[in-house]
Structure 1
Amino acid sequence: MEEKLVMEEKLVIEEKSEMIEGSTEPENGQEKHKDLDEYAYKNISYTTEVFKLELRGLPRYYGIGQLRKFLSKKMNLNISKVKAPAIKSKWAYVCFPSAEERDKGLTTLNGAKFKAAILQAKVADPAPDPFVKRKNEEAREGSNKRCKVETPEEQSLVLRSNVSPLWNVPYEEQLAQKMKEAKILINRLGVDLVKTNPDLRQWANKQKAENDGLICKLLDIKSRPEFIDKYRNKCEFTIGRNDLNGKRTVGFRMGTYASGTIEVVPIDDVKFVPDLMKKAVKVFEKYVQESKFDVYSPETLQGNWKQLTVRVGTQTDQLMLVVGFHPQGLTEDELQAVQDEIKHFFVEGDGAELKVNSLYFEIIKRKDKGEVLPPAKLLYGKEFIQDKMFDLVFNISPHSFFQINTRCAELLIQTVKELADINDRTVVLDICCGIGTFGLCLAKDCKRVMGIEIVEEAVKDARINATQNEISNSDFFCGKAEEVITSVVKRVSGDRIVGIVDPPRAGLHKNAIQMLRKTENLDNFVYLACDCKSAFKNFTELGRAPSKIMLGAPFVPVAAVPVDMFPHTNHFEFVLYFERLQSTFQCEQTDQDGQSDAIKEEPECKASEE
């Protein structure tokens, strides 16, 4: 019976998600559809899309950053954005803030030389609005083309399939799927490393012989089955309209703007959202429904209520709300009145039942070039909430990074400690440290912690977290990793340094990779990737052959462990432990000059010295 129900649910999900059935002809008696204007957005608000050039003749090898620098610095052009259809594309779009700037770019770039390539530029047409374009396609294909969601139950099924596609898969099967994906990724890494650096072939063959055909040891996936539901400590909820009943709703979007939907639906049945969060959403939703201000529409760019960010302390039950609001030309006095009403609602009105610990108001709108939006404003309570990890107390500000699954984060940190063999003789270099979570949790097990973080607010929180937990063997530094790693590492002499790299989803900047490679007394580090496909280029760059740009011996993976930080989704945290090649591979053949066959450009093989 249960299997039948699951199959029926899957059929409904497939029908709603794929939206492929039906006639392309209009039914009898219906008028032929008149297309909506796909370029109406040009008249609604300012956009650089209308001041765009198509740039062709780009060289075979270049980076978007290099192209931006060439355009703005060398060509002295005032550009707004650069976008290419794909990596290594031979053409790209360049947008400008005005027609005058675009015309200057057209004159300057035609015939200009970029990395020995001769460029050609021409004025480009603006792109159609993807939402309106999709609506027109659906209308032309017929009213039956799109299988409509007709009940709240169907709505719930479609939403769950989008935000948590494994919600109805037994947890053991979820883990098996993720373990299989981890093995595929390690297999691919082995192939790509040798392609990037053929000198690694001998080392790679030795590794594969020892690890069942894989480039490194792959350990079993780690998880906490007792905490697979209601685990998220932060969610950003969209405020919009529910197409089914027309009501203002706080929840998740049913799909993307480009797919033709801006509908927002309730999150009552989403497994990973905790009860306190759901309650906060419902309470604020009632307030929005009774407000004189409307919800923001991505289609018309009108309306005010835009987003509700909710953070909870998993082990403290503390609650932070950040209300996102589009000002739409309201005066300062009118905006202040909005903030006063929100505060009154949560402090003295119906929202008081939530017992909010920290309440913020934030302006969310599209920024003009050079514009700096004001930071989130505290309306009530403390500037932070607190949560616990390994009996340590952490202050969490509105935009601080904190692992979204607190319980599993403890397992993640323990995994890092075991993989890297962190002990009382180890100095931990925590790169992209956020509020200091990893370093401070490892402080009692290591000699010293040094954290690097680009966000100043997070660095302040990290220092406060160290003080309130009476941790004295930690230091935190603010700056780009690629700019401060060298000076930070110089503070350590004679100690074994282990790096911990927990970068944003896109991975580390290439300059940071180059700096890791050239840092002489850093021979080991752990890389935590929540999206291996995005970070994959980092892994291969770490193993690239030494050159004038990529100094130092390559880093290679020694062991990897998937950790299921995100139950009911396809994602997991992949923990990879890297070591410098000379620390992991015994060089058996050395020529008369003392050069390794495996690393021709390195002066010596340090493995033999150890």
Structure 2
Amino acid sequence: MAKHHYKVGQTVSGITKGYTSEGLGILYTEDNSRFFVKGLIDGEEAEAKITYVGQRSSYAKLTKLITKSDKRIQPKCPVSTACGGCQFQHIAYDEQLKIKRGIVENAFRTIAKSDHPVDECVASPMPYYYRNKMQIPLGLDKKGNIISGFYRARTHIIIPTPECVIENERSNGIIATIRALMKSMRIPPYDEDKRSGVIRHILIRTSYYTPGLMVVLITNADNFYSRNNFVKALTKAHPEITTVVQNVNKRKTSVILGKRFRTLYGPGFIEDDILGIRFKISPQSFFQINPLQTENLYKIAIEKAEINNSHTVLDAYCGIGTISLIAARHAKKVIGVEINSRAIRDARSNANRNNIDNVEFYTADASDFMENEAKLGSKYDVVIMDPPRKGSDEKFLNAVLTLEPKKVVYVSCNPGTLARDITLLNKKYEIKSITPVDMFSQTYHVETVVLIERK
């Protein structure tokens, strides 16, 4: 924390020592005050202007690098410092991996009070152009030109982005065509303040192992002028598009997708493979965004579980059944639980299309389901859990303690909530391994697989 005499607008200087959980450099001054600064690398000496002074944390904006780290590189993206999408493009990839391992280590040390060793972060085979899903807001610049890009961090200000270097390369050209068609057909982008205009966002999903490419038009209206002509022109310009879907969202909200979908072209979904299993992917399906690294992630999870053909496995927060169906190839039986009914319909469809019959899927809140299973005295050999970023809850974790599976494999995209939840399971379980996996290259986000076993 900063000493009381520092004020907003003041310039400070110091040495960078380590990182926050969000990848900000921690700048220490001569009096050992610390400021969180975007864009700094461990060991760099710098000057920064204070933007906020708080009791527990203070922030500053980098104004001058006095010494540069040999891990500092030129970002591939010209707007990476302004855009809120990437935080690490200025950092060499090997250093990114070290930072992510450190973020996980710090979470377990400070939250779980655990000094269990953390494995090296598993490198991604595709540090760039890896994302199979992009959500692009549209708007107007000051001259009235249609722009698309990503929001500046913690704002809804669009930073025009002609090419995103972490999105699938096929997506960038499609976005440019959509902007041109909107201009020629006089289809206005949505204005958040006025709540007027037509197209709010463009969502693009791409397949890696199949030719699938989905474009979702998120609109502020049920219909719009020249919609059919727009779709015809778009698919003619980009024959690689296999389906176009309209999503209607008229609400005043930052939530991107509305509840209503209409297929305008093609089947309304795409397909892709993970470890030889084919999955149906709808516009709203949860599907990991890094296709090759997803296979590494799930291999690690399944190997840690050591599932065999006598085991009954519970896959909580199962989504469209990705881990469930992979585990089913090794297990006697798999139960998948997910609160989203659309996802469960896709999961059952995925099981049928892959001729996997030793898996059952249930639409239920994972915590309620687990609590009921505990009351029934059900038996599971392995529990695999991959909750949302907010983590699990005490009801679910207490049910795990009651059910007492031999192993729990916890897959998480948030080291903080992961460490918190593991702490609640310490009564009966001990950590066997902690493995960070770089699913989100060029960002501070990190996926982690933790294996705990019954004591």
- Shorter-chain TM-score: what band? 0.7 to 0.9
> Is 2:189–2:198's contact at 8 Å kept on the other side of the alignment?
yes
- Distance in 2 separating the partners of 1:470 and 1:489: 30
- Indicate the RMSD between aligned Cα atoms, in angstroms: 3.0
Counterpart in the other structure of 2:306:
421
The match for 1:500 among 372, 384, 409 is: 384
Counterparts in 2 of 1:406-555, with a 5 A limit?
406-486=291-371, 497-519=381-403, 521-543=404-426, 553-555=427-429
The match for 2:223 among 318, 336, 342 is: 336
Deviation at 1:299, TM superposition (A): 3.2
- Distance in 2 separating the partners of 1:472 and 1:491: 24
Deviation at 1:271, TM superposition (A): 1.8
Deviation at 1:387, TM superposition (A): 0.5
- Distance in 1 separating the partners of 2:412 and 2:325: 20
Q: Where do 4+ consecutive residues of structure 1 move more than 6 Å?
A: 18-21, 489-494
Deviation at 1:578, TM superposition (A): 2.1
The match for 1:302 among 196, 217, 220 is: 196
Q: Secondary structure at the match of 2:230?
A: helix
Deviation at 1:410, TM superposition (A): 0.6
> Is 1:238–1:264's contact at 8 Å kept on the other side of the alignment?
no
- Distance in 1 separating the partners of 2:287 and 2:168: 16
- Distance in 2 separating the partners of 1:265 and 1:449: 46
- Distance in 2 separating the partners of 1:181 and 1:539: 16
Deviation at 1:319, TM superposition (A): 0.8
> Is 1:427–1:448's contact at 8 Å kept on the other side of the alignment?
yes
Counterpart in the other structure of 2:29:
none
- Distance in 1 separating the partners of 2:158 and 2:102: 35
Counterparts in 2 of 1:46-445, with a 5 A limit?
156-159=79-82, 162-191=84-113, 214-224=114-124, 226-243=125-142, 246-257=144-155, 262-268=157-163, 270-327=164-221, 335-338=222-225, 341-346=226-231, 348-355=232-239, 356-366=241-251, 374-445=259-330
Deviation at 1:493, TM superposition (A): 6.7
- 2:449 is the counterpart of 1:578: no
- Distance in 1 separating the partners of 2:325 and 2:375: 21
Deviation at 1:187, TM superposition (A): 1.6
- Distance in 2 separating the partners of 1:515 and 1:485: 6
Matched to 1:542, the amino acid is L
Q: 1:471 to 1:454 in 2, by over 3 A?
A: same
Deviation at 1:556, TM superposition (A): 3.7
> Is 1:343–1:380's contact at 8 Å kept on the other side of the alignment?
no
Deviation at 1:504, TM superposition (A): 0.9
Deviation string, structure 1 residues 39-59 (Cα, Å, up to 9, x no partner): xxxxxxxxxxxxxxxxxxxxx
Q: Secondary structure at the match of 2:157?
A: coil
Q: Secondary structure at the match of 1:577?
A: strand
> Is 1:240–1:264's contact at 8 Å kept on the other side of the alignment?
no
- Distance in 2 separating the partners of 1:307 and 1:350: 16
- Distance in 1 separating the partners of 2:167 and 2:191: 25
> Under a length normalisation based on structure 1, what TM-score does the superposition of the two structures give?
0.58
Counterpart in the other structure of 1:569:
443
Structure that is richer in helix per residue: 1
Q: Secondary structure at the match of 2:193?
A: coil
- Distance in 1 separating the partners of 2:377 and 2:326: 20
- Distance in 2 separating the partners of 1:164 and 1:393: 30
Matched to 1:576, the amino acid is V
Deviation string, structure 1 residues 246-281 (Cα, Å, up to 9, x no partner): 421122123433xxx62341241x321111111221
Counterpart in the other structure of 2:25:
none
Q: Secondary structure at the match of 2:106?
A: helix
- Distance in 1 separating the partners of 2:299 and 2:78: 39
- Distance in 2 separating the partners of 1:537 and 1:309: 33
Matched to 1:265, the amino acid is P
- Distance in 2 separating the partners of 1:352 and 1:428: 47
Structure that is richer in strand per residue: 2
Q: 1:228 to 1:157 in 2, by over 3 A?
A: closer
> Is 1:560–1:575's contact at 8 Å kept on the other side of the alignment?
yes
- Distance in 1 separating the partners of 2:200 and 2:249: 7
Matched to 1:508, the amino acid is S
Matched to 1:513, the amino acid is L
Counterparts in 2 of 1:14-33, with a 5 A limit?
none
Q: 1:242 to 1:426 in 2, by over 3 A?
A: farther
> Is 1:252–1:267's contact at 8 Å kept on the other side of the alignment?
no
Deviation string, structure 1 residues 390-438 (Cα, Å, up to 9, x no partner): 1111000111101111111110111112222222222221100001001
Q: 1:410 to 1:154 in 2, by over 3 A?
A: closer
Matched to 1:234, the amino acid is K
Deviation string, structure 1 residues 162-199 (Cα, Å, up to 9, x no partner): 321212322111112112222222222442xxxxxxxx
Deviates further, 479-488 or 421-430: 479-488
Deviation at 1:315, TM superposition (A): 1.7
Matched to 1:289, the amino acid is K
Counterpart in the other structure of 1:547:
none
Deviation at 1:525, TM superposition (A): 1.0
Matched to 2:223, the amino acid is Q
> Is 1:158–1:254's contact at 8 Å kept on the other side of the alignment?
no
Q: Secondary structure at the match of 2:349?
A: helix
Q: 1:324 to 1:350 in 2, by over 3 A?
A: closer
- Distance in 2 separating the partners of 1:273 and 1:156: 14
- For structure 2, which runs of at least 5 residues remain unmatched after alignment? 1-37, 41-46, 51-75
Q: 1:406 to 1:19 in 2, by over 3 A?
A: same
Matched to 1:216, the amino acid is H
Deviation at 1:19, TM superposition (A): 11
- Distance in 1 separating the partners of 2:290 and 2:390: 20
Matched to 1:336, the amino acid is N
